Chains A and B, each alone.
Chain A
Amino acid sequence: MQTESKEPVTQKRFIDLFEKNRAFLSANDTPGLNVTRVKAMASFAKLGFPDTSMESWRLTSLEESFERGYDYHLQPMEEVDVQKVFRCNIPHLDTAVIGQLNGWYVSKDVPLMELGNGIIMGSLAEARKKYPQLIEKYFGTIADDTNDGFTALNTAFTQDGVFIYVPDNVKSPKPVQLINVIHHDENLFLQSRNLIIVGSNAMLSLVHCDDSYNHQASFSNVVTEVHLGEHGAMDHYKLQNLNNNSTLISSVFFRMAASASLDSHYLSLNGGLLRNNIRVLFNGPNGNASIYGLYLMDRKQHVDNNLFIDHAYPGCTSSETFKGILDEHARAIFNGHVLVRRDAAKTDARQSNKNILLTDTARVNSKPFLEIYNDDVKCSHGSTTGQLDQESMFYLRQRGIGEETARMLLMFAFADEIVARIAIPQLRQRIEDMVKKRLQGELQICEQCVLHCSTPEHPIEFQIDLGKI
């Protein structure tokens, strides 16, 4: 009853599923949370799934993905060798690792860790039981589900995901690494919901990896809500290395209080169809958000980065820097929307999208859109699409560097502007390595961005219950 077998994705399927399992889904809801859930379902019933008749989905058709058909589970049921799934590649970086398998939190004994400094992290399902007030205060208030069907559906079906709470004035001592591995023997539709609260003057560094373990098709609808308190800071990385049969709709919503600061990175290395919805709301003055994106796509891969930055308060600075290299039949779409509201004086907003096309069958659509209602602003956008610079190619070859090597060097240099922004040195090295491999066509989809390794000198135990999964 709680499992749906391989069926196409339709609005009706999920409406029916919700009706049938209403009690089960909301078993642990507070009354407030239940209202949010029911409202979201009403939204989804109204909105349905987006299609290409909508401006923001004009160039990304989900039809083929939907028709593949997927299983949907209302509870975790995998059995897997966790040591194989969560492998280690990079030693010497001490991170706090959180694992997710198919969107479900995996833990050993403690589904929710409470660290000495007041930081709480672990399963959202568990947090809902243990900290209902805290969850109710933030959950569903950052992600707007009134005009996006996927977000509405995610809210309505919220069960598990990751919860991180960094209290006021606490700086997370080491980066938190959230690894979501997709591994199933059937086509799988999965949803997960993350809630991250960074208090005033608090700081969090989060590495969020989406990895595939095999070539089975999957469809993920992941919503992440992030609240940054006054003077709060976050360094955020999203690394996507999924198989070519996977569809990922990732929506990340940031709400930034006064003087909050955000660096958010989207590194798309592989994936069938990737859609990144990135929403930033400046909810107080003097905030600062820098969003970086790098996408390296080939075959028939499709990546669609859709940004909306809402300058609702004065004195905020935002930048969008997205770069991509497209090979074979790949397609990239960039939609960067910056809204400067009437009161948002002294806004400084920049958008940049640069693309390199390696073949005549690769395609790029770029729409860096500025909407401005205040005159005291500095806004600019730029977009270029072309091939590798011919002057540079000549220069490199004149020094005896072969054409292929020269091309590789220039492509890597092009990508480096984004990679160089990664503030965690070990992660930067790891990504550099992955980008190199990717450009040389040697990156495996099962190669994960796992950073945290167990070595004899540094024994580390995964917080994962081997017996359970």
Chain B
Amino acid sequence: MESEANNILEEVTQGDYKYGFVTDIETEYAPVGLSEDTIRYISTKKNEPGFMLEFRLKAYRHWLTMVQPKWAHLNIDPINFQEIIFYAAPKKKKELTSIDEVDPELLATFNKLGISLDEQKKLAGVAGVAVDAVIDSVSVKTTFSETLSKHGIIFCSFSEAVQNHPELVKQYMGSVVPYTDNYFAALNSAVFSDGSFCFIPKGVRCPMELSTYFRINAANTGQFERTLIVAEEGAYVSYMEGCTAPQRDENQLHAAIVEIIAMKDAEVKYSTVQNWYPGDKNGLGGIYNFVTKRGICKGNNSKISWTQVETGSSITWKYPSCILLGDHSVGEFYSVAVTNNYQQADTGTKMMHLGKNTRSTIISKGISAGKSNNSYRGLVRISKNAINSRNYSQCDSLLLGAKCGAHTWPYIQVDNKSSIVEHEATTSKISEDQLFYCQQRGISAESAIGLIVNGYAKEVLKQLPMEFAMEAQKLLSISLEGSVG
């Protein structure tokens, strides 16, 4: 029994990364390294208005005064910023007007990922998902833009938004995550190349899921994208983000920013399935994933919900957060984080309760295998004025194997008497009883682990849009099972 479980765990730790292919696409690079010149190069290349260059340079100068944070439970090899290419883009031959003009290699890349850029082909039989595909640093194709624009919805690449809606970009960019926020946010603000932009006007319910697919392809390249979502009064949008990268021996840096603004009665649901290359089973290579995600519930009765399934990256440093400013606003965070081999994850959330009667829910499920370390780090802060607020947090850790670590760092601060904060956490392993029970019913130990892990994560998975939930379930199995992938 014991030894069989060990065998499985061994197999599990040999699960391969199936997205590890490299696509041969002609790519245009910025000069290696970081300087004001690099930033000017990026800004010029993107034909940006003056305010953008100014913003970038301010951020860069601020970044120079900062040091890389050390508080996370992570071992990070020093990052040499002079060896990174801060801008890589598939070389554009001319403006694209239809899907037929997209580089066939690129199309094939996304097809391999299971992402269709063809509006005719609909994902998983669902009504339709509008996709913004970002490869390395640049948005290559946004689908369904026209359908969406009929509703007044703007969904396009960040670069396009800078060109076509500079006033909106100027108004909201940096309003939730200022460039001074943290080391990686400052870096992103200086060098970000593209990303998605989404604006839902007053009273509009976005008729389809919006999705961005990120792919790092080029070698020695950092990806710095930036997403901005604005939901005006009474608007609703569900947004999905997926990511993959090829297998490479060196570590690659990904430092992104996501900002969400929800006005009165608006609701934004943001789902992520993060599957950056995690490195091989000896811990070689993999993506450094340092992401700042934050939303503000600006108006009364607004709601922001983060759901994430984190299976990739060699290092993850990420705390999708909610600032609950409006009265009666709601913040949610649902997370499954799987680490295997030598992966390290330090992830969680921050719920800042500022408005009255604000509510937040945190459900975090950590699964550690191999020699990985998986930390939940969460802050719940109820300010003095946030009367009658509530938080409920539940953080569970599951350990598979005897060489991994699971850590829980909850920070709880309550500054008024009418609010209630509850935090619960457990750490456990898959019990011999559960395994035996499944096996006695004819299920192989390997499938049993998959079943149990999926059951364990179910509370979170059910928050995902359907087409994403399927992918996430598969990913959980791939990340943990040896036979698949």
Contact = CB atoms under 8 A, between A and B. Distances in A.
Contact of B405 (A363, A365, A371, A384): A371
Interface stretch (A93-101, A150-158, A373-381): A373-381
Interface string B387-421: 10000000001011111111111111111111111
Interface in A366-405: 366-387
Contacts of B401: 375
B407 A369 contact: yes
Given A360-B384, A364-B412, A386 B407 contact: no
Nearest to B71: A55
A364 B414 contact: yes
A88 interface: no
A92 B454 CA distance: 61
Given A360-B384, A370-B427, A383 B408 contact: no
A372 B406 CA distance: 5
Contacts of A364: 412-414
Given A342-B403, A358-B417, A367 B425 contact: no
B100 interface: no
A387 B417 contact: yes
Contact of A365 (B413, B419, B427): B413
Nearest to B429: A375
B122 to A, nearest CB: 43
A364 B383 CA distance: 11
Nearest to B375: A371
Nearest to A333: B413
A380 B427 contact: yes
B409 A369 contact: yes
B420 A367 contact: no
B151 interface: no
Contact of A372 (B399, B410, B412, B424): B399
Contacts of B423: 366, 368, 381-384
A367 B427 contact: no
A385 B421 contact: yes
Nearest to B408: A370
A403 to B, nearest CB: 15
Nearest to A366: B412
A424 to B, nearest CB: 33
Contacts of B414: 355, 357, 363-364, 385
B426 A379 contact: yes
A193 B427 CA distance: 38
A371 B425 CA distance: 12
A61 to B, nearest CB: 16
B170 to A, nearest CB: 37
A386 B405 contact: no
B467 interface: no
A369 B401 CA distance: 21
Contacts of B387: 360
Given A380-B426, A382-B425, A384-B420, A363 B407 contact: no
B138 to A, nearest CB: 40
Interface in A300-350: 342, 345
Interface residues of B, number: 36
A342 B428 CA distance: 15
A362 interface: yes
B425 A372 contact: no
B358 to A, nearest CB: 15
A380 B402 CA distance: 18
A359 interface: yes
A372 B409 contact: no
B427 A383 contact: no
B433 to A, nearest CB: 14
Contacts of B411: 365, 367
Contact of A384 (B413, B417, B418, B422): B422
Contact of A363 (B71, B400, B413, B427): B413
Contacts of B415: 360, 363
A368 to B, nearest CB: 6
A299 B401 CA distance: 50
B377 to A, nearest CB: 10
A382 B424 contact: yes
B73 to A, nearest CB: 8
A383 B421 contact: yes
Contacts of B412: 364-367, 383, 385
A372 B405 contact: yes
Nearest to A350: B426
Interface in B58-88: 71, 73
Contact of B416 (A360, A369, A378, A380): A360
Contact of B427 (A345, A372, A382, A385): A372
A379 B410 contact: no
B344 to A, nearest CB: 13
A439 B402 CA distance: 47
Contacts of B73: 371
B457 to A, nearest CB: 17
Given A359-B417, A365-B413, A386-B420, A380 B425 contact: yes
B403 to A, nearest CB: 7
Given A367-B411, A383-B410, A375 B400 contact: yes
Contacts of A367: 409-412
A427 to B, nearest CB: 32
Contact of A386 (B397, B402, B421): B421
Contacts of B408: 368-370, 381
26 contacts: A359-B417, A360-B384, A360-B387, A360-B415, A361-B384, A364-B414, A365-B411, A368-B410, A368-B425, A369-B410, A370-B408, A370-B427, A372-B399, A374-B399, A375-B399, A375-B400, A375-B401, A377-B427, A379-B427, A380-B425, A380-B427, A382-B424, A383-B412, A384-B422, A384-B423, A387-B417
Minimum-distance CB pairs A-B, first 3: A375-B399, A386-B420, A379-B427
Interface of B: 71, 73, 384, 387, 397, 399-429
Given A360-B384, A360-B387, A387-B420, 17 more contacts: A355-B414, A363-B413, A364-B413, A365-B412, A366-B410, A366-B413, A367-B410, A372-B399, A374-B399, A381-B425, A382-B422, A383-B412, A383-B423, A384-B421, A384-B422, A384-B423, A386-B420
